[in-house]
Amino acid sequence: MMMHATLSALFLGALLTVSLPASAVNLTISCGTVGQERDFCEQATSAWAKETGHQVTLATPPKRSNERFFQYLIDLGQGDSRIDVYQIDIIWTGLMAKHFVDLKQYLSQADIEQNFPAIVANNTVDGHLVGMPWFTDVGLMYYRKDLLEKYGLSAPKDWSELIDTALYIQTQERKAGRAEMWGYVFQGAAYEGLSCNALEWIAAYDGGTVVDMEGAITIDNPQAILAIARAASWIDTVAPPQVLSFNEEDAYQMFQSGNAVFMRNWPFAWALLNAKDSPVATKIGALTLPQGGAKGFPASVLGGWQLAVSKYSKHPEVAADLVRYLTSETVQKQRAIGGAYPPTIMRLYDDPEILAATPFLAKMRPAMQDAVARPVPQTGTDYMAVTTHFWEAVHKVLQGQGTATSNLQILENRLRHVKFRGGW
Ligand code: GLC
C-alpha cells in the first residue's frame, strides 16, 4: 500500500512536470463577488490555467465597491505582492494608477482598440493603460411586465409616473392579499451604490452632477433639493424601510422574490432574474432610467470594471496574459450571454447570440453614450471624499434626519472644505 502510494505520487509528479510549463506560476486575482461575478471569474481563470499550465487563486474582497477600494489602497500602498490582478471600478483608475503596470507593454494594439474608446481613455493615465476594460455598466430600471399588463398600464417615462404606477400596483396587490408587495426598490445603503442612485435622481431633474466639469460645486440647487426630497418621500410609502440598508444584491433578491414592482439595478441582475429557478423569470422588462420632470432628461449612471496588473506582482507578464484572456472576445461573450455583463468590445453589440440572451443590450450602446459620469475627473484624488460626503448627506435625508434643503447646504459646505484642501 505504502509502495503503491509512493509510486502514484511519483507518477503524478511526472505527469505534472510534463503538463506544466517550465516556469508555471500561481497567480492571485481579486474579482468582484456581486451576483455571479465570482463564478464567472472562476470559470474563465480555470480555462486559462488549463490552457497555460499556470494556476490561479481567487481572493475574496469585500462586496461594496468603496470598501474594496480602501482595502486595495492599503494593500497596494504597502507594496503587497499577494494579489497579481485586481478588478477595479471605472472610478478608481486615476486614484490607483501608480500601483499598476502599463498594460500597453504586454497587450496588442488590436486587443486594446476593439474596446469603447471612452473606456480606454478613462483607463489611460499619463499615457499608461492602467486597466483593460472588462465589462461596462449602466443603471437600469427593471419592471414587472406581467403586473403592468394586469393593470393595463404602460412602462413609465418619468419619475412621477413611475412612482404613481408603483404605488397603484402596490395598493392593488396588497388589497388582493399580497401584503409583502412594495412598489420600488433600489440601493439605499450609505455607500457608493447610493451615490449612483442619487446622482441619477438629481441629474434626471437637471440638478447637475454634484461638481460640474469645471470643478464648481453645484449640489445646493433647487432641482437637486427637489430630487432628493422626492426620493425621501418614497421611504415607507412606496419603498420598504429596509431599502436604507440595501445594496445591489438585497434589491435584486427582493425583486426576484416577486415582492417589488420596480427595481433600479445594474445589468447583471437580468441574468439572475431570468434564471430557470427565478420566480420572476420571463415576467420582467428592463429600461433605461426615467427622466425627471418636464425640465429633466433620462439619466443612468455609468459604471463598469477593468482588470489591472499590480506593479508589485512577481509575474507581471503572466498576469497580463491572464488579463488578455479574461478580457478577450470569447470570455466577454460567455459573460454577456450567461451573466448579462455588458461587453466593452464594441462589435459584440451586434452579436445575435448576445442580443437574444440580453435584448436590452441593443439599447445600451446609445444609453452608454448618454450615461451620466460621476464627478471623478474634476475632483481627482478627492473623489472618494466627495462621494462619501454625498452618500452620507443623501442617506440622512432618506432617513428623515433633516430636510433635503438643510442637508444639501451642509454638503455644499463640506465639499468646499474638501476642494479648498485638494486645490481643484
Ligand atoms: C457597479 C458599477 C460600479 C459602481 C458600483 C456601485 O458595480 O459597475 O461602477 O461603483 O456598482 O455599487
Mutate to test the pocket of ligand 1, among 196, 301, 344, 395 (most ligand atoms within 8 A of CB): 196
Average pLDDT over residues 316-326: 98
Does the Cβ of 192 fall within 6 Å of ligand 1? yes
Residue 18 pLDDT > 70, yes or no? no
Please count the residues of the chain: 424
Residue 13 pLDDT > 90, yes or no? no
- Give nearest CA residue, ligand 1 atom 3: 303
> pLDDT digits over 199-233, tens only?
999 999 999 999 999 999 999 999 999 999 999 99
Residue 178 pLDDT > 80, yes or no? yes
CB atoms within 10 A of CB 315: 17
Q: How far is the CA of 53 from the centre of ligand 1 (A)?
A: 33
Which domains are present in the chain? 2-130+302-369 (3.40.190.10), 140-288 (3.40.190.10)
Q: What average pLDDT is seen over the chain?
A: 93
- Which grid coordinates are listed for 416? 468646499
| HEC per residue, the chain | CHHHHHHHHHHHHHHHHHHCCCCCCEEEEECCCCCCHHHHHHHHHHHHHHHHCCEEEECCCCCCHHHHHHHHHHHHHCCCCCCCEEEEECCCHHHHHHHECCHHHCCCHHHHHCECHHHHHHCEECCEECCEEEEEEECEEEEEHHHHHHCCCCCCCEHHHHHHHHHHHHHHHHHCCCCCCEEEECCCCCCHHHHHHHHHHHHHCCCCCCECCCCCECCCCHHHHHHHHHHHHHECCCECHHHHHCCHHHHHHHHHCCCEEEEEECCHHHHHHCCCCCCCCCCEEEEECCECCCCCCCCCEEEEEEEEEECCCCCHHHHHHHHHHHCCHHHHHHHHHHHCCCCCEHHHHHCHHHHHHCCCHHHHHHHHHHCECCCCCCCHHHHHHHHHHHHHHHHHHHHCCCCHHHHHHHHHHHHHHHHHHHCC
pLDDT of residue 295: 65
Does the Cβ of 84 fall within 6 Å of ligand 1? no
pLDDT of residue 20: 60
- Residue pair 271/335 in contact (Cβ under 8 Å)? The answer is no
> pLDDT digits over 329-345, tens only?
999 999 999 999 999 99
Q: How confident is the model at residue 129 (pLDDT cuts 50, 70, 90)?
A: very high
Does the Cβ of 266 fall within 6 Å of ligand 1? yes
Distance between terminal CA atoms of the chain?
73
Average pLDDT over residues 68-87: 97
Count of alpha carbons within 13 Å of 340, Cβ hemisphere only?
Answer: 25
pLDDT of residue 15: 43
Q: How confident is the model at residue 6 (pLDDT cuts 50, 70, 90)?
A: very low
Q: How far is the CA of 249 from the centre of ligand 1 (A)?
A: 12
Residue 7 pLDDT > 50, yes or no? no
Does the Cβ of 249 fall within 6 Å of ligand 1? no
Does the Cβ of 225 fall within 6 Å of ligand 1? no
pLDDT of residue 27: 98
Of 26-30, 219-223, 282-286, 366-370, give the lowest mean pLDDT range: 366-370
